[in-house]
């Protein structure tokens, strides 16, 4: 790492516990690095599998589209989603956007992130700048948003303008998943902002690590739960994803809306 990037952006460090390597950002607020939130994890024995439950949930869009042409990841984390999409969607272009060059370097060195090639492009830039570029509008099938700073008190981009720009980048049938690790007020603020520019916004039940994942549909899908459970079974067997639980969560959300 060069001194310029270390000075301008939070330093990155890793921890390891019981075969799992995790990525953290150093915080100016809290000098105790042992308390720094986990930004992503990788099990050393199976580095290509997604370790954290909420990160798996970020792939809930797979229940509705298994042939994306362009997948965008906003916020690299430990590169779990980027690696998963690169490995499993061989006909898709994968773009990851990360502001902190130290995160990119650590993912290359310690989390087995593939070098850029014809399908993979990791951009060092601001996520808001990426989505508000009109040249990208209407070009993306899936956007996965996981944008947190060292304190991880809530998404760093959460304005209606940000989500409107994300929606503009999506194709007519495009989808966006968002990690909402936040208190109830911030979570509701983000969901409300998404609802202003997406046809439907659904959120899955909170997982044990306090994360809630939302999926926003630019165009409301036709939901057939029998079909979704069939697809979920395939995802569980072929991709080691707990997809049947996602369908349960979607059904709970729909039933709650009917009350």
pLDDT single digits (tens) 147-158: 876 565 667 788
Model confidence at 72, pLDDT cuts 50, 70, 90, reads: very high
Percent of the chain with pLDDT over 70: 90
Rounded to an integer, the average pLDDT of 215-237 is 96
Looking at residue 259, its pLDDT comes to 52
Q: With 90 as the cut, is the pLDDT of residue 2 above it? A: no
Q: Which helix (H) or strand (E) holds 10?
A: none
| Average pLDDT in the chain | 89
Q: Which of 21-35, 66-80, 144-158 has the highest mean pLDDT?
A: 66-80
Q: With 90 as the cut, is the pLDDT of residue 202 above it? A: yes
As a whole number of angstroms, the distance between CA 187 and CA 195 comes to: 12
As a whole number of angstroms, the distance between CA 215 and CA 194 comes to: 10
Looking at residue 3, its pLDDT comes to 38
Looking at residue 26, its pLDDT comes to 81
pLDDT single digits (tens) 242-254: 999 999 999 988 8
**Please, where are the H alpha helices in 111-242?**
127-131, 160-169, 184-195, 225-239
Residue with tokens 């208190």: 183
Give the closest residue to 17 by CA, choosing from 37, 39, 50, 43.
43
For the four alpha carbons of 227, 228, 229 and 233, in that order, the dihedral sign comes to: positive
Model confidence at 129, pLDDT cuts 50, 70, 90, reads: very high
pLDDT single digits (tens) 99-126: 999 999 999 999 999 999 999 999 999 9
Counting Cα atoms < 13 Å in the Cβ hemisphere of 28 gives 6
């Amino acid at each position: 790492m060069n001194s310029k990037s270390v000075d301008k952006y939070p330093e990155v460090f890793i921890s390891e516990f019981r075969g799992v390597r995790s990525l953290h950002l150093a915080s100016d607020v809290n000098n105790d690095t042992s308390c720094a939130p986990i930004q992503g994890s990788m099990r050393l024995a199976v580095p290509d599998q997604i370790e954290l439950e909420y990160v798996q949930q970020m792939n809930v869009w797979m229940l509705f589209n298994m042939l994306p042409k362009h997948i965008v990841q906003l916020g690299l984390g430990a590169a779990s989603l980027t690696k998963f999409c690169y490995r499993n969607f061989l006909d898709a272009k994968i773009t990851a956007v990360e502001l902190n060059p130290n995160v990119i370097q650590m993912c290359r060195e310690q989390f087995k992130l593939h070098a850029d090639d014809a399908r993979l492009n990791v951009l060092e830039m601001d996520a808001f700048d990426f989505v508000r570029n009109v040249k990208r509008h209407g070009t993306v099938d899936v956007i996965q948003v996981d944008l947190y700073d060292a304190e991880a008190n809530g998404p760093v981009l959460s304005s209606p303008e940000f989500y409107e720009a994300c929606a503009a980048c999506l194709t007519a049938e495009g989808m966006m998943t968002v990690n909402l690790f936040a208190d109830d007020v911030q979570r509701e603020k983000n969901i409300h902002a998404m609802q202003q520019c997406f046809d439907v916004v659904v959120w899955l039940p909170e997982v044990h690590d306090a994360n809630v994942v939302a999926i926003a549909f630019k165009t409301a899908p036709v939901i057939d739960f029998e079909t979704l459970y069939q697809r979920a079974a395939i995802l569980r067997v072929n991709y080691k994803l707990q997809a049947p639980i996602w369908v349960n969560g979607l059904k709970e959300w729909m039933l709650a809306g009917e009350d």
